[in-house]
Amino acid sequence: MNRIIKLLILSDLLIYFGLGLTSNILSIFIKDNLQSTIAMAGLATALFLFIKSVLQIIFSKIFSKEHRLNMVLIGSFMIALTPFIYSFSTTLKILFIAQIVYGVGAGLTAPAWMSVFIKNVNPKRPGFEWSIYSAIVSMGIAVAAYFGAWLVQMWGFRSVFMLSGVFGIAGALVLLKLYSEKLK
């Protein structure tokens, strides 16, 4: 496994660990702290996924190979910004803005990240390297989901959202090391 693949895995582990901290608690936050409904929590998730889905196709068409690193870095920082916006959300409108930022960031990151990974994966072991990526990131999310729920009981939502954002920024910063690497 080459250094580029390791950096991509480490970055996603940190970003998704941070997001995993909020995975179990966001609906509860929306219902209890924003005095809204579970249906609105579903709408918030749908808004993110719809924006990501549409934009990743558009961004993959309009940006070239030379833009990949910038796309991954900018998108990752936008994703990392999302939990900080959650922490200051006092209305559904602010939370929906966070979901839009998240969707744009993920839409920007997804095609570029996959392109870099695919081009740099070991051609003799692509299934193994994708499996390592999936296992590491999934285990990180699993651990984070438990700890996020536990930590919100101790510290409250805002602290967990802030911690989530810190992990996201750390993951995005890891990507800066890709600029010194020779990408395929």
The pTM (predicted TM-score) of the whole model is: 0.94
The pLDDT of residue 18: 97
Does some domain include residue 128? yes
Does some domain include residue 66? yes
The 10s digit of each residue's pLDDT in 31-46 is 999 999 999 999 999 9
The 10s digit of each residue's pLDDT in 9-67 is 999 999 999 999 999 999 999 999 999 999 999 999 999 999 999 999 999 999 888 88
The 10s digit of each residue's pLDDT in 157-177 is 999 999 999 999 999 999 999
The pLDDT of residue 154: 96
Q: How far apart are CA 75 and CA 171, in angstroms?
A: 12
Is residue 126 predicted with pLDDT exceeding 80? yes
Closest CA to 47 of 80, 115, 3, 96: 96
Does some domain include residue 183? no
Does some domain include residue 184? no
The pLDDT of residue 109: 97
Kindly report the CATH number assigned to the domain that includes residue 32: 1.20.1250.20
Q: How far apart are CA 129 and CA 149, in angstroms?
A: 31
Number of domains in the chain: 1
> Could you give the percent of the chain with pLDDT greater than 70?
99
Does some domain include residue 17? yes
The pLDDT of residue 117: 95
Q: Is 89 helix (H, G, I), strand (E, B) or coil?
A: coil
The pLDDT of residue 65: 83
CA angle 20, 86, 19 (to 5 degrees): 15
Buried b (16+ CB within 10 A) or exposed e, 107-131: bbbbbbbebbbeebbeeeeeeebee
The pLDDT of residue 181: 80
Does some domain include residue 182? no
> Percent helix, strand, coil in the chain (nearest 5)?
85, 0, 15
- Mean pLDDT over all residues of the chain? 95
Question: In the structure, what pLDDT confidence band is assigned to residue 182 with cuts at 50, 70 and 90?
Answer: confident
Segments forming the whole domain that contains residue 49: 3-177
Q: Output the CA torsion sign for 44, 100, 96, 134.
A: positive
